[in-house]
Amino acid sequence: MTEYSNKRSGRLFHREVLVSLLKQGLGEHVAESLFNEAAARLGLGPEEFSEDEAFVLFEDLAKQPGLPGIAARFAKSRLCLLPSGS
């Protein structure tokens, strides 16, 4: 298991917000499952994620082949557009 450790600074995002970025392309059940697996694998979460942690999580998911990887790359792009306090 790889664990990502970083000082939690900058914007914070609730888990639901980040999952919602993925579920647009994958559906709710698949998005939640993939997100939870990646967060556990990276030692992140469970409910709030710093902006850096969210990027690391989406970068990890983007390595997956097919639709999950594509959805993660789009989610990472949309993360940049979210307003503060999301």
Q: What are the structural domain ranges in the chain?
A: 21-81
| Distance from C-alpha of 65 to C-alpha of 61, rounded to nearest angstrom | 9
- The pLDDT tens digits for 35-66 are 999 999 999 989 999 999 999 999 999 999 99
Give pLDDT, residue 68. 96
Neighbour-count burial of 77, counting CB atoms closer than 10 A to its CB (0-12 exposed, 13-18 middle, 19+ buried): exposed
Evaluate whether 45 touches 58 at the Cβ level (below 8 Å): no
User: Token digits for 29?
Assistant: 């059940």
Residue 25 banded pLDDT, cuts 50, 70, 90: confident
Q: Residue for token digits 């939870």?
A: 36
